[in-house]
Amino acid sequence: MQVIVLDNYDAISEQAARLVEKNIQENDQLVLGLATGATPLGLYKNLISGYNARGISYKNVKTINLDEYLGLEKNHPESYHTFMSEKLFQHIDIAMKNTFIPDGNPSSAEEECIRYEEIIDSIGPVNLQILGIGTNGHIGFNEPGTDPNMSTHVVELKTSTREDNAQFFQSLDEVPRHAITIGIQTILKSEQIIILASGKSKAKAVKRLLEQNVNRNFPASFLWKHDHVTLIVDREAYQFV
């Protein structure tokens, strides 16, 4: 794992954007794995600037998102469909048919997991996967305890994860209790992975990640099993190391 420590959130967002853009310039048909949450927002802003100011085109890029809440309609204000559309897709020249996010309101969640994994198999491998990290070490929505050999599956969200994400909803009660996430195994099939962490709320998770103790109680630790991972972290998130 390559570790890049930068001054602040703006710097890590810019650095990540430069890496994504470099990959697109080298391969205009890039398959890009995307994450939601607060952390990649700065990256997405930089990508939008790169599209507007420097003509970085997404015309042939395909994107595969990590996860989606179960029980939210696509157009719910807090669905990851809405998030991706508002924060990135509607501001760049990507074709919506080339963007993939699990359906959060399927008739059968189990069938949706199979369908989504088949999509990843057919258009993948993901060339470059962007990840954030939960305070409990989750990646995607792979919560502590998750079997690392699982592919796309339904998860019951931990209370700590629901509490972390409650800021985006009216109340904790409104935060969905389940989600569909691609598995750790699926994430590890990506050719290259960038994991972003920012702010002191992530310092403990970053410290634990860097201990290199690969175990199910800390899902991000499985990234040590991959040989092309870059952790881009700001000083606040690196402070206890």
Pairing type for strands 128-131 and 178-181 reads unpaired
Which residue type sits at 26? Answer: E
| Residues 6+ away with beta carbon under 8 Å from 22 | none
Strand positions, DSSP E, the chain:
2-6, 31-34, 62-65, 67-69, 99-100, 128-131, 153-156, 178-181, 192-197, 229-234
* Run of H or E including 72: none
> Given the complex with ligand GLP, which of 60 and 192 has the nearer CB atom?
192
Binding site for ligand GLP (CB under 6 A): 35-39, 66-67, 132-134, 140-141, 161, 165
Catalytic residue among 67, 68, 112, 164: 67
Task: Return the structure tokens found at 137.
Answer: 């070490």
Task: Return the structure tokens found at 34.
Answer: 């995307």
Catalytic residue among 14, 68, 117, 143: 143
> Given the complex with ligand GLP, which of 117 and 164 has the nearer CB atom?
164
Decide if 67 is catalytic. yes
> Given the complex with ligand GLP, which of 35 and 113 has the nearer CB atom?
35
What does R_g of the chain's alpha carbons equal in angstroms?
A: 17
Other Cβ atoms within 10 Å of 10 Cβ, number: 14
User: Cβ(135)–Cβ(217) under 8 Å?
Assistant: no
Catalytic residue among 23, 127, 136, 165: 136
| Residues 6+ away with beta carbon under 8 Å from 43 | 13, 16, 17, 20, 130, 196
Task: Return the structure tokens found at 77.
Answer: 């204000």
Decide if 7 is catalytic. no
Decide if 228 is catalytic. no
> Given the complex with ligand GLP, which of 56 and 101 has the nearer CB atom?
101
* Active site (catalytic) residues: 67, 136, 138, 143
